[in-house]
Amino acid sequence: MRECSNILNSAPVALREAQVKYVKALAMTWALLYFITGVLKSFTLNSLDFWPSVALLLFLFVFPLPVVVIGFWSERAAGFSLSLCAVGSLLAGVVAALTRANASISDRGTFLLFIAIWTVPHWAFSLAYILRHKAKYADSPGS
């Protein structure tokens, strides 16, 4: 993690600012796509595992959009909030997999693998926001 921070610190300030604009634009695009996907997936909710599915839908698809918008003003808060969204979606996925009593173990494993894959961008943008915040304050006087 220290090497990533050193790479960010070694780049010129103008280049880092341009990279941040691209990361924020990419994060906004990703969050909008996930939000639209979540809206489309909300029509498949059923009564079998309703509450875990609602929690999964919120943490995985809905909450990242407002979190990314907050990231324009507070990168650190957005980074940690995206991490919480990823953890929340993984926990909701585990609960949803466990409540499916008639599903085989391989079906549950496949479901959890897909949930884990869907959370990869959460972790990537979370790290991008947190490392950017650290690099920004590493450049400030008195550090």
pLDDT in tens, the chain (143 residues): 555 555 555 555 555 566 777 888 899 999 999 999 888 877 777 667 788 888 999 999 999 999 999 988 988 999 999 999 999 999 999 998 888 878 889 999 999 999 999 999 999 999 988 887 666 655 555 55
Is 99 domain-assigned?
A: yes
Residue 84 confidence (pLDDT): 96
Is 143 domain-assigned?
A: no
Residue 42 confidence (pLDDT): 77
Count of domains for the chain = 1
Is 96 domain-assigned?
A: yes
Cβ contacts of residue 133 below 8 Å, gap of 6+?
A: 75, 76, 79
Is 125 domain-assigned?
A: yes
- Domain holding 21, by residue range, is 2-138
> CA of 37: how far to CAs of 34, 60, 110, in Å?
5, 10, 19
Count of CA atoms in the C-beta half-sphere (13 A) of 60 = 24
Residue 69 confidence (pLDDT): 93
Residue 21 confidence (pLDDT): 77
Is 89 domain-assigned?
A: yes
Is 111 domain-assigned?
A: yes
Cβ contact 130:79 at 8 Å = yes
58 C-beta neighbours (distance < 10 Å), count: 17
Residue type, 89: S
The whole-angstrom separation of Cα 74 and Cα 26 is: 17
Residue 60 confidence (pLDDT): 92
The whole-angstrom separation of Cα 12 and Cα 116 is: 35
Each as own residue / partner, the long-range contacts of residues 47-55 (CB below 8 Å, 24 or more positions apart, any chain) are: 48/99, 48/100, 49/95, 49/96, 49/99, 49/100, 52/92, 52/93, 52/95, 52/96, 52/99, 53/92, 53/96, 55/88, 55/92, 55/95
Residue 35 confidence (pLDDT): 93
Residue 49 confidence (pLDDT): 74
